[in-house]
Amino acid sequence: MTTYYTKDHEWIRVRGSIGQVGVSEHAQEQLGDVVYVELPEVGRTVKAGEQVAIVESVKAASEVYSPVSGKVVAANRTLADNPALVNEDAEGAAWFFEIELADPGELANLMTAEAYRDYLDSLS
């Protein structure tokens, strides 16, 4: 199971043809206390880079973009009931949705964990 990252601070953890997507620890830190999450509809087809969810904090609202193209096959309803989970476990239990990858080749456009750390270092 490999985790990839986007420059918009989403992560995708891929197992087989299914990717689990959430926001990175860095994004969570920037947001502050998360108070609301809007999840995508299961069955929705999305393109890489398309807005699929919204996360709101006491500071701001941010869009969550799909790292890859595909079909949303699950949404994390636990997160809808407990949005603060994003602050507690952003890169674990606080995943937003699962997507069936339309083209696994799109993963090559994303960053590895090491490349993402380097990217974050370049921002500071």
In a domain, 62, yes or no: yes
What does the alpha-carbon distance between residue 80 and residue 90 come to, in Å, rounded to a whole number?
14
Q: Identify whether 41 is part of a domain.
A: yes
> Does residue 112 lie in a domain region?
no
In a domain, 21, yes or no: yes
Averages of pLDDT over each 10 residues, the chain, 124 residues: 95 97 96 96 98 95 97 96 96 98 97 97 91
Q: How many domains does the chain have?
A: 1
Q: Which of 83, 97, 82 is nearest to 32 (CA)?
A: 83
List the domain range (segments joined by +) for residue 87.
Answer: 2-102
Residue 94, pLDDT score: 97
Spatial contact of 83 and 96, defined as CB atoms under 8 Å apart = no
Residue at 86 is within a domain: yes
Residue-level pLDDT at 12: 98
Burial 45-68 (b: 16+ CB within 10 A, else e): ebebeeebbebebeeeebebbbbb
pLDDT score for 124: 81
Task: Give me the torsion for CA of 12, 13, 19, 24, rounded to 10°.
Answer: -30
- We report the CATH number of the domain holding residue 62 as 2.40.50.100
Q: Is residue 81 part of a domain?
A: yes
Give me the phi and psi of 56, to 5 degrees please.
-115, 140
Residue 29 lies in a domain: yes
